[in-house]
Amino acid sequence: MRVGHIYPPPADKLLSQDQAREFVKSAHALGKTVVLLEGTWDLTHAGHVQHIREAKKHADLVLLRLASAEYAVNYKGPYRPLEMFRDMVVSEFEDVDAVFVDQTVVSPDDIAENAHILYQLGVDKIALEVEDDKFLQKMKSTDYANRHLGAKIQPVVLVLPYVNSTTAIINKIKSMV
């Protein structure tokens, strides 16, 4: 696994959760900071591109945590995720340094369990969008990890100039049919 100045091929960016933890440890050993992005990312759009670009301004490396397909079905609906190869798509972005699909199916409302996942990853920062409907839960999980687990994760609150969501795109397409 590479951490450094040379961009790895996209296939090398796809990690298991254990490899993601090692990625963060390796980055720290080199004096680099890591920002975490989270989401389903099942139809990549301009909002995702902005999220990546803005997050990259706050750390040396970007780690993208994709929700599992099972999570997407449980919390987004029976026809989600739309794209089954989401990990391949997002790994193509130059500013994304590593990607892993989190196979856990934890409710966004389970603050303590989400905090444990954040703590175990060991990231320095987490990029949160104000427009995200799970913004408050993610803030609470980050706070819980810091206060109760000894993490030192800095929340980076992003207010993106272009707001869009996969759900909004799906609804627009449905309204056109």
Render pLDDT for 96-141 as a digit per residue (tens, 0 to 9): 999 999 998 888 889 999 999 999 999 999 999 887 778 899 999 9
Q: Is residue 137 part of a domain?
A: yes
What's the confidence (pLDDT) of residue 146? 97
Q: Is residue 5 part of a domain?
A: no
Q: Which of 9, 76, 11, 85 is nearest to 39 (CA)?
A: 76
Q: Looking at the predicted structure, is the pLDDT value of residue 73 above 70?
A: yes
- Computed on alpha carbons and rounded to an integer, the radius of gyration of the chain in Å comes to 16
Q: Is residue 167 part of a domain?
A: yes
Is the backbone of residue 8 left (phi > 0), alpha (psi -120 to 50) or beta? beta
Whole-prediction pTM: 0.85
What's the confidence (pLDDT) of residue 118? 95
116 Cβ contact partners less than 8 Å away, ≥ 6 residues apart: 145, 149
**Count: domains in the chain:** 1
Q: What is the pLDDT of residues 22-64, one digit of tens each?
A: 999 999 999 999 999 998 888 787 778 888 999 999 999 999 9
Q: Is residue 4 part of a domain?
A: no
Q: Is residue 126 part of a domain?
A: yes
Q: Looking at the predicted structure, is the pLDDT value of residue 156 above 80?
A: yes
Q: Which residues pair with 66 in a beta bridge?
A: 39, 101
Q: Is residue 1 part of a domain?
A: no
CATH of the domain at 75: 3.40.50.620
Domain with 96, as residue range(s), is 10-176
Q: Is residue 59 part of a domain?
A: yes
Q: Are the C-beta atoms of 66 and 17 separated by less than 8 Å?
A: no
What's the confidence (pLDDT) of residue 83? 79
